[in-house]
Structure 1
């Protein structure tokens, strides 16, 4: 994979600057997940180890670290997979400096997802992985460090992450089996009815009787999307309708559950291919011609 910052894999990260000095930016905390952006020149970290998985994406520069007796190197777009209790250091491999984003994931989250599958925690032998799909998955959690993680997003994220790590660990994937249609349809109906509210994992567990990770797997198998994405699209569809009615964008964002207008704009563009303002202009022009 190349290191071109214009690549789709880096969408939303264009404002990052080449590091002038060492620094770390931390995201809002979520139980079991810590997210940071680090940028520095030279050697930054002495040998140390975590009790978590460290899963990141190199954004700019050459990332180098000693891990399991070898010096490793990662280029932009590559995924870093460091396992709990493995000693490693870290630094920039060239004088141009380094920027990367990484999350620290408590193994208990993966174990919850693996419960009942008969599989243990996945061990990826190569700590530098060239996998655009896995990189994009990680950047879905690391792309907006100023935002808190949504509970439904985390459920699906951990489920997909477990699958991605298992693929690189060469662990056999067991078939899902019969889809729990009654429970999944109940989840879909509940999400539609409460689309403008903050729906949590415990609510869906109560509605369906399924644990959050089983629910996420069956929902994706049934509807080819996650509960989090399904809920987000319902909000965006409502936003589009309000915009077509001439409502101010800031009011639309607040009404459909987005933090602010810029938050709405980012998700609207990803879903519909244009900004809300452009959509408003198009539907406005359409009304004028009628």
Structure 2
């Protein structure tokens, strides 16, 4: 079912299965305000011109290429012509890429776009139609191929730098167990066994964002889940560890380029009745 935002714009979300979030969408004009998220956003323009600002320049994605937005890089989205644009995109946690690459720096694709056939082929399974389920083993195979294609196309150097993947992973796991309270870099230092500034550097290198930003995005993941289940904005914000609704709303807009109310509308989620 297509979920309406404006009379012409729509978003179709794949059923939640496996570890990826996948959507297909059409926008007739403006799509998203400038925002950033801590996942890779990898997709294809299916028709029209997909225009976005990225790393200080304007990009125009056309059918046949692959869009690869690096974690935590600000970008927006709009139609580059009166015909609008349709695209498919998936959001992949850097931790999944790390599980394949074994603790190497995250691959970076210059300009956020590539026409390399290796990358186009590696995204084929994961960017199939939203009504096509992906078998768990098929997903694992596709993630393996994608991680290695990203590494090859990025031209990443073979030499290893001085960083500690295991310590960063211990810190990441610790954050997941402390979403509802204040977390300090000192705690992460003690738990990971890595001095705080080296850990902070390693975390950015390996997961594409800072420990604090990672914590905030996991809280926003919980907010979205609670909103879909009918929680109010205020209750969802508090349950996810934000100080109040306005605090959550500010972070939500920065992360997704949409207000929580517009996001709910595009998901077909009705706001709960006032009590």
Coarse TM-score class (shorter-chain normalised): 0.5 to 0.7
* 1:49 lines up with 2:36 in the alignment: yes
What pairs with 1:119-198 in structure 2 (closer than 5 Å)? 119-172=104-157
The size of the alignment, in residue pairs, is 154
Whole-Å separation in 2 of the counterparts to 1:39 and 1:158: 26
Whole-Å separation in 2 of the counterparts to 1:173 and 1:146: 39
Whole-Å separation in 1 of the counterparts to 2:18 and 2:74: 24
Whole-Å separation in 1 of the counterparts to 2:118 and 2:7: 30
Rg larger in 1 or in 2?
1
Give per-residue Cα distances to partners, 1:66-114, cap 9 Å, x unaligned: 0111111111111000011111000110001101101000111001111
Q: Is the 8 A contact 1:122 1:165 kept in 2?
A: yes
CA drift at 1:20 = 7.7
What pairs with 1:64-83 in structure 2 (closer than 5 Å)? 64-83=51-70
Whole-Å separation in 2 of the counterparts to 1:139 and 1:97: 23
Instruction: Give the corresponding residue for 1:35.
Output: 22
What pairs with 1:137-286 in structure 2 (closer than 5 Å)? 137-172=122-157
Give per-residue Cα distances to partners, 1:94-147, cap 9 Å, x unaligned: 0011011010001110011111xx622111122111123322332322213113
Unaligned runs of 5+ in 1: 1-18, 175-290
Unaligned runs of 5+ in 2: 1-5, 160-275
Instruction: Give the corresponding residue for 2:242.
Output: none
Change (3 A) 1:96 1:158: same
CA drift at 1:172 = 4.6
CA RMSD of superposed structures (Å): 2.0
Q: Is the 8 A contact 1:50 1:84 kept in 2?
A: yes
SS of aligned partner of 1:126: helix
Instruction: Give the corresponding residue for 2:71.
Output: 84
Instruction: Give the corresponding residue for 1:22.
Output: 9
What pairs with 1:105-124 in structure 2 (closer than 5 Å)? 105-115=92-102, 119-124=104-109
Q: Is the 8 A contact 1:28 1:147 kept in 2?
A: no
Whole-Å separation in 1 of the counterparts to 2:7 and 2:44: 20
Q: Is the 8 A contact 2:39 2:70 kept in 1?
A: yes
- TM superposition score normalised by structure 1: 0.50
